[in-house]
Amino acid sequence: MTSIHFVGIGGVSMQALALWCRAEGFEVSGCDRSEFDATRLTAAGIEVCAGHDAAHAHGKSLVVHSMAVPADHPELQAARAAGTRVVRRIELLGELFRRRRAIGITGTHGKSTTTGMAATLLLALDPESSVQLGASLPAIEGGFRYGAGEWLVAEVDESDPGFADLEAEVALVTNLDDDHVAGEYDERRNYYASYDELQAATRRFAGHAQRLLYCRDWVALPPLVADHPGAASYGFAADADYRIADVDLRDHSSRFVLHAPGLGALTVELAVPGKHNVSNAAAAVAAVHLAGFDPRPALPALATFRGVGRRWQSWGERDGALIIDDYAHHPTEVAAMLEVARHTGRRVRAVLQPHRWVRTARQWPELAAAAAAADEVLVLDIYGAGEKPIANVSSALIVERLREQGVEARGADIGSATAYLAGSLAPNDLVITLGAGDVWRVAAALADGRVDAEG
C-alpha cells in the first residue's frame, strides 16, 4: 500500500490533506514539533508522532511538507537520500484538483471565510461535494470533508508560489495585497521576492481556470486578470457583474442585495457582521453560480453561517465585556476588524500580536496606523513562526508609534495582558485579540474566568 508521511501535520490545511489521503485509502502518518489536537487524525487511523525524527521518513512512498518546513529538514533529507519523492503541500492539493471539478479560492484577505461560505452553499446544493479549508468550519467539524461527488471547493494559499500551477474549473481571487513579500530580506519560506512576482503568480493561477471571478473593488485586480476570456467580477462597484447594493450592517449580522446576471436581485442575509463579510458572501454566491448552480435555494443555508475558526470568533462575555478573537495580522485585516469592533459602540481594547519578523519589519508603521482605531492597544512580542529575528525590529516600535498618535498603548506578554485586562474590564468593553499566532490564548483565558487580575 502507498504510504504518505506529512511533515508538519499539525496545520489545519495539512490535517485536511492528510485526512483526504486517508479517505482515498492510503496509509498515512505525520509529525509536528508543536502540540495540537490530533483526535480527528488518529480516529481516521493516521499515526501521529510528536517531534521530528529522520526515521519517520523511512519506508514511505511519499513525503509531504508545508512551506514552513525548511529544505534542509532532517526528515526531508532522509527521504531524498532514500529516493523517496518529496512534494510541497500545494503540489498535493494540485492532485485533488485533478480528481475533482474544483472551485479554487485565493487572495490575501478573506479566502478562508469565503471558502467556508462557498462550502456552505455548495453542500446545500450538492451534499456529496468535498471541502478543503485552511480553517475550521463547524458544519464539517474541521477543515476537511470528503465527498463522493464531482465538486471540490478549496482554499488556495497564495503564499506558496506553487499555487500558480493549480488548475481550477472556477478560480476566485478576492484581493491581492502587499503581503508574503520579502523585499530586501532573504527569507523565502512563504515569501516572494517582490509584489510583481506575487502578481505574476496570481495571473498564472487565474489563467489556468476555465472561469474566473475577481473583486472589482480591488484596484490592482482588473488590470491583472480582467482580460481572462471567462472573467466575471463582483463587488460594490457600479460596473461589477455581481453587484452589491442596499447594504445593512448590524452589530452581529448583515444584509444586502446582490444583483446577479440571469438571477435578478437576490436578498442575502448573514449571521456575521462587517462590510468585508458582505463582500465575501457576494464572492461565494457568484462562484457557485459560475460553477453552474442556481444559488437561490442555498441562501437560507448561508444565513446560518457563523464564520470559520478564529474569524471574529466570540468567546462570550466576562464582567459584561464582550471577548472576540480574530486571525487578523495584516494591516488591512486589522483595520477591517477594528472597524467592525467600533461599529458596536463599545470601548475597543485590542491585544495585537505582530506575526513574523519579515512582515513586521516591512509593515510595522501600517500595522500601528491600523491598530490606532482601538481605544487601547496591548502589543505582544512578535510571533516569529520559525523566522530568524531581525535587528532593530520589535513590538516596541508599534507601541511607540501608537503613543505618538495619542493612543493608550503598552507592551505585554500573554500572561500580563490577560491579568491586566481581567482586572480592568468594564461592561461596555470589547476585547479583541488580533494575530495569527497564539494571541487567542488571552481571549480563552479571559473567557474561562480562571485568570487572576494583575496585582
Q: Which domain holds residue 416?
A: 313-448
pLDDT digit string, tens, across residues 329-359: 999 999 999 999 999 999 999 999 999 999 9
pLDDT at 188: 85
pTM: 0.95
Same domain assignment for residues 152 and 282 = yes
Same domain assignment for residues 111 and 232 = yes
User: 48: helix, coil or strand?
Assistant: strand
Percent of the chain with pLDDT over 70: 98
Same domain assignment for residues 294 and 319 = no
pLDDT at 33: 87
Split at pLDDT 50, 70, 90, the class of 449 is: confident
Residue 307 lies in a domain: no
Residue 455 lies in a domain: no
Cross-strand bridge partners of residue 153 = 103, 131
pLDDT at 403: 98
For 252-361, strand residue ranges (E) read 254-260, 264-270, 313-318, 321-326, 347-352
Same domain assignment for residues 8 and 142 = no
Mean pLDDT of 437-447: 97
pLDDT digit string, tens, across residues 178-219: 999 999 998 888 899 999 999 999 999 999 999 999 999 999
Same domain assignment for residues 254 and 354 = no
Residue 394 lies in a domain: yes
Task: Compute the mean pLDDT over every residue in the chain, rounded to the nearest whole number.
Answer: 95
Whose CA is closest to 251, among 323, 315, 343, 334? Answer: 343
Mean pLDDT of 305-323: 96
Instruction: Using the predicted structure, report yes or no on whether residue 104 has a pLDDT greater than 70.
Output: yes
| Triad 257, 119, 309: Cα angle to 5° | 95
Dihedral pair phi/psi, residue 325, rounded to 5°: -125, 140
Mean pLDDT of 436-442: 97
pLDDT digit string, tens, across residues 14-62: 999 999 999 999 999 999 988 889 999 999 999 999 999 999 999 999 9
Instruction: Using the predicted structure, report yes or no on whether residue 105 has a pLDDT greater than 80.
Output: yes
Same domain assignment for residues 111 and 221 = yes
Choose one of 62, 88, 114: the last residue of a domain: 88
pLDDT at 80: 96
Choose one of 252, 276, 302: the last residue of a domain: 302
Residue 94 lies in a domain: no
Same domain assignment for residues 230 and 198 = yes
Q: Are strands 313-318 and 321-326 parallel, antiparallel or unpaired?
A: antiparallel
Instruction: Using the predicted structure, report yes or no on whether residue 318 has a pLDDT greater than 80.
Output: yes
pLDDT digit string, tens, across residues 151-164: 999 999 999 999 99
Q: CATH number of the domain at 79, please.
A: 3.40.50.720
Mean pLDDT of 141-157: 95
Residue 454 lies in a domain: no
Q: CATH number of the domain at 397, please.
A: 3.90.190.20
Choose one of 277, 302, 327: the last residue of a domain: 302
Residue 95 lies in a domain: no
Q: Are strands 264-270 and 254-260 parallel, antiparallel or unpaired?
A: antiparallel
Same domain assignment for residues 125 and 56 = no
pLDDT at 69: 87
Same domain assignment for residues 41 and 105 = no
pLDDT digit string, tens, across residues 214-240: 999 999 999 999 999 999 999 999 999
pLDDT digit string, tens, across residues 58-71: 999 999 998 888 88
Same domain assignment for residues 243 and 124 = yes
Residue 93 lies in a domain: no
pLDDT at 450: 63
**Residue appearing with cell numbers 487578523:** 328
Mean pLDDT of 306-315: 96
Alpha-carbon distance 128 to 146, whole Å?
Answer: 8
Instruction: Provide the grid cell at 76.
Output: 526531508
Query: For the stretch 288-303, what's the b/e string if a residue is b when 16 or more beta carbons lie within 10 angstroms of its beta carbon?
Result: bbbbebebeebbebbb
Mean pLDDT of 260-265: 98
Mean pLDDT of 100-117: 98
pLDDT at 451: 61
Cross-strand bridge partners of residue 32 = 50
Q: CATH number of the domain at 275, please.
A: 3.40.1190.10
User: 244: helix, coil or strand?
Assistant: strand
Cβ distance 411 to 382 under 8 Å? no
Mean pLDDT of 123-144: 95
How many domains does one find in the chain?
A: 3
Same domain assignment for residues 201 and 66 = no
Residue 154 lies in a domain: yes
Whose CA is closest to 346, among 251, 448, 423? Answer: 251
Split at pLDDT 50, 70, 90, the class of 455 is: very low
Same domain assignment for residues 257 and 362 = no
